[in-house]
Amino acid sequence: MFRNNYDNDSVTFSPQGRIFQVEYALEAIKQGSVAVGLVSKTHAVLVALKRNAEELGSYQKKIIGIDTHLGVALAGLAPDARVLSNFMRQQSMSSRLLYNRPVPISRVVNAIANKAQVNTQHYGRRPYGVGLLVAGVDETGPHLWEFQPSGMVLEYKGAAIGARSQSARTYLERAFEEFVDSNREELVLHGLKALRDSLAQDKELTTANTTVSVVGIGENFKLYDGDEVGEWLEKLGNVQSSRGGRTGEEAVESMDTSE
Amino acid sequence: MNHLPEAWGRPRNDVYGTYDASYLQSSMPNQHTQSPIVTGTSVVALKFNGGVVIAADNLASYGSLARFTNVERLKQVGTHTVVGAGGDISDMQYLHEKLLDSLIIKEEYQNDGHHLRASHIYRYLSKVLYQRRCKFDPLWNTLLVAGWDDGKPFLASADLLGTTFSAPALATGFGAHLAVPLLRRVCPDEAAVENITREQAVDTIEECMKVLFYRDARSLSKYSLAIITGKDVEGAAECEAKNQSWKFAEGIRGYGTQVV
């Protein structure tokens, strides 16, 4: 009757030592559209590709501001991300109220990691179906963390999650050494280039589907959405994937001729 | 023999008659602190260019009785903060040895490069004090938090009502009346801090401790003094009020042999 006897709940190991419900939760991340994060010495940037389920509907929010020094990008089940981001906002508020201190990034990330881990060890619960990229600045500088429903969190120089994120990761792996000394604008453009590389061949970045956020040392978390993204796309130039059929240069030429 | 736990340690029924269990229950309501019992007096502190000096004497009074003369009322919290407490000594011990110790242990166990600084500790303490006064069970203290925070000297006060304020020169208790005017002569406002040297600040605090010993009947000439700079906290326990002269007292009616 069952194809797999070991995936009914998240507390049972398979004989191979796997917990299938947790692995399925990780699959849920890959169903979501791509989100990219990267850090320099001074800034942390999140960029993401928004999807609209249907032509008449609005685009799914991909980046959520948590506090003036902190924000998350999500891939996977948006309602789960809302629960986690609300929790992070509470943590952030209580840190400010009780200690007059913006919550350290690693602490708030560990707090949600603990919540996620509990779900993998209690019968009748399910893991979160969402992956997060957490970008923020605290006293120890800018940080980027990846959160997974397994309860795993890791700090990155550049990371990408969601559908087709491997292409974005390929770009990040190629360019990450430049990130450290990038300025604000260069870092965002690196992020957008990674994002653009993950696009399907007939897709392009637009003000409707692209969202950008930046936070820096001494600079509040800023979310660019809708028309505000336009300035970044102009700086980026080519808004189509530079991989595959057409090269970057060709794409620029075709844009020129169309004008 | 009655082996039931509730009978442990009680007089035997067969010898002394049935135990009156009404002694076990209090018919009275919960008693909260209505007034401090064993008390410490003033804490004084002054900012200078590069740090803060804070001092408090080593006396714990039981009413007017000088009951304990070796009580440390300054506590270093973390690397660059000192908390000084006046008021009830047992409440101070609760703050120092239970709350602040576990606060720092929890913070440092995270081992993530983040540390609580003076302003963070100050906010925490003021919230604790305010929460307790809202339970109508106040911690009967006035606290000064002195430290080095964000490249600047930090000094602020919190009391049993949850009142908070900050100034470059602060004193609690009797010192709020006697020492603050002396401190303000040296440091009238925040701008004056940069012209105050460390030696000047220490001299001023020592002078305040001496004057407080002259005029505060609940004080002691033995005191502790701490200097917090960007580098570290230097503590000096067992300071003694220097260059005392009681000449002024001769003119005071009621001092010494009564004439007329």
Query: What would the pLDDT profile of A108-166 be if each residue is shown by its tens digit?
Result: 999 999 999 999 999 999 999 999 999 999 999 999 999 999 999 999 999 999 999 99
The mean pLDDT value for A52-61 works out to: 89
Question: Does residue A56 sit within a domain?
Answer: yes
Is B2 a residue whose pLDDT tops 70? no
Confidence of residue A246 (pLDDT cuts 50, 70, 90): very low
User: Could you give the number of structural domains in chain A?
Assistant: 1
pLDDT in the model for residue B1: 52
Is B238 a residue whose pLDDT tops 90? no
Nearest CB neighbour to A107, from listed B112, B119, B120: B112
Q: Is A95 on the interface with B (CB under 8 A)?
A: no
Question: Does residue A256 sit within a domain?
Answer: no
Q: Is A99 on the interface with B (CB under 8 A)?
A: yes
**Inter-chain residue contact B110 with A98, CB threshold 8 Å:** no
Domains and CATH numbers, chain B: 36-240 (3.60.20.10)
CA distance A98 to chain B (A): 5
Query: What would the pLDDT profile of B57-90 be if each residue is shown by its tens digit?
Result: 999 999 999 999 999 999 999 999 999 999 999 9
User: Which value, in Å, is the radius of gyration of the alpha carbons in chain B?
Assistant: 23
Query: What would the pLDDT profile of B89-100 be if each residue is shown by its tens digit?
Result: 999 999 999 999
- Average the pLDDT over each of A89-93, A197-201, A245-249, B245-249 and give the range with the smallest value: A245-249
Q: Which helix (H) or strand (E) holds A35?
A: strand A35-39
Residue of A nearest to B129 (CA): A98
Q: Where on the phi/psi map is residue A231: left (φ > 0), alpha (ψ -120 to 50), or beta?
A: alpha
- CATH code for position A75: 3.60.20.10
Cβ–Cβ < 8 Å for A239, A254: no
Confidence of residue B175 (pLDDT cuts 50, 70, 90): very high
Q: Is A218 on the interface with B (CB under 8 A)?
A: no
**Inter-chain residue contact B114 with A99, CB threshold 8 Å:** no
**Inter-chain residue contact A140 with B113, CB threshold 8 Å:** yes
Which tokens sit at B43?
A: 């804490």
Which tokens sit at A100?
A: 């007059």
Which tokens sit at A195?
A: 């994002």
pLDDT in the model for residue B247: 84
Q: Which helix (H) or strand (E) holds A39?
A: strand A35-39
Is A190 a residue whose pLDDT tops 60? yes
By C-alpha distance, which of A63, A83, A61, A173 is closest to A127?
Answer: A83
**Inter-chain residue contact A99 with B124, CB threshold 8 Å:** yes
Question: Does residue A3 sit within a domain?
Answer: no
Is B46 a residue whose pLDDT tops 70? yes
Name the β-bridge partners of A131.
A75
Nearest CB neighbour to A100, from listed B110, B112, B119: B119
**Inter-chain residue contact B114 with A107, CB threshold 8 Å:** yes
Max Cα–Cα distance, chain B, nearest Å: 80
Q: Is B111 on the interface with A (CB under 8 A)?
A: no
| Residue B73: other Cβ atoms inside 10 A | 25
Residue A95: strand, helix, or coil: helix
By C-alpha distance, which of A188, A170, A166, A187 is closest to A178?
Answer: A187
pLDDT in the model for residue B252: 78
Residue A257 to residues A221, A246, A252, A254, B250: CA-CA distances in angstroms? 38, 15, 9, 5, 103
Q: Is A101 on the interface with B (CB under 8 A)?
A: yes
Confidence of residue A258 (pLDDT cuts 50, 70, 90): very low
Angle ∠(A191,A194,A198) on CA atoms, nearest 5: 135
Confidence of residue B258 (pLDDT cuts 50, 70, 90): low
pLDDT in the model for residue B236: 83
The mean pLDDT value for B185-205 works out to: 97
Question: Does residue A13 sit within a domain?
Answer: no
pLDDT in the model for residue B188: 97
Question: Does residue A4 sit within a domain?
Answer: no
- Average the pLDDT over each of A111-115, A170-174, B218-222, B235-239 and give the range with the smallest value: B235-239
**Inter-chain residue contact B127 with A98, CB threshold 8 Å:** yes
Name the residue with higher pLDDT: A72 or B29: A72
Nearest CB neighbour to B112, from listed A97, A100, A106: A106
> Which residues in chain A are closer than 8 Å to B124, comparing Cβ atoms?
98-99
Structural domain that includes position A58:
21-236
> Which residues in chain A are closer than 8 Å to B104, comparing Cβ atoms?
none
Question: Does residue A254 sit within a domain?
Answer: no
**Inter-chain residue contact A104 with B119, CB threshold 8 Å:** no
Cβ–Cβ < 8 Å for A78, A61: yes
Confidence of residue A259 (pLDDT cuts 50, 70, 90): very low
The whole-angstrom separation of Cα B145 and Cα B123 is: 10
The whole-angstrom separation of Cα B181 and Cα B173 is: 14
> Which residues in chain A are closer than 8 Å to B127, comparing Cβ atoms?
97-98
Whole-number mean pLDDT of chain A? 93
Q: What percent of chain A shows pLDDT beyond 90?
A: 88
Residue B52 to residues A117, A193, B44, B91, B237: CA-CA distances in angstroms? 45, 51, 11, 25, 16
The whole-angstrom separation of Cα A75 and Cα A98 is: 32
Query: What would the pLDDT profile of B129-140 be if each residue is shown by its tens digit?
Result: 999 999 999 999
Confidence of residue B254 (pLDDT cuts 50, 70, 90): confident
Q: Is B174 on the interface with A (CB under 8 A)?
A: no
Q: Is A104 on the interface with B (CB under 8 A)?
A: yes
Note if the pTM is more than 0.80. Answer: yes
Question: Which residue bears the tokens 């009413």?
Answer: B63
Question: Does residue A248 sit within a domain?
Answer: no
The whole-angstrom separation of Cα B227 and Cα B234 is: 5
Name the residue with higher pLDDT: B1 or B94: B94
Question: Which residue bears the tokens 């080593």?
Answer: B58
3-state secondary structure chain B: CCCCHHHCCCCCHHHHCCCCHHHCCCCCCCCCCCCCCEEECCEEEEEECCEEEEEEECCEEECCEEEECCCCCEEECCCCEEEEEEEEHHHHHHHHHHHHHHHHHHHHHCCCCCCCCHHHHHHHHHHHHHHHHHCCCCCCEEEEEEEEECCEEEEEEEECCCCEEECCEEECCCHHHHHHHHHHHHCCCHHHHHHCCHHHHHHHHHHHHHHHHHHCCCCCCEEEEEEEECCCEEEEEEEECCCCCCHHHHHCCCCCCCCC
Is A187 a residue whose pLDDT tops 80? yes
Question: Which residue bears the tokens 């398979």?
Answer: A14
Asked if B204 is an active-site residue, the reply is: no
pLDDT in the model for residue A18: 95
**Active-site annotation holder among B18, B33, B41, B81:** B33
Is B181 a residue whose pLDDT tops 60? yes
Q: Is A53 on the interface with B (CB under 8 A)?
A: no
Q: What percent of chain A shows pLDDT beyond 70?
A: 93
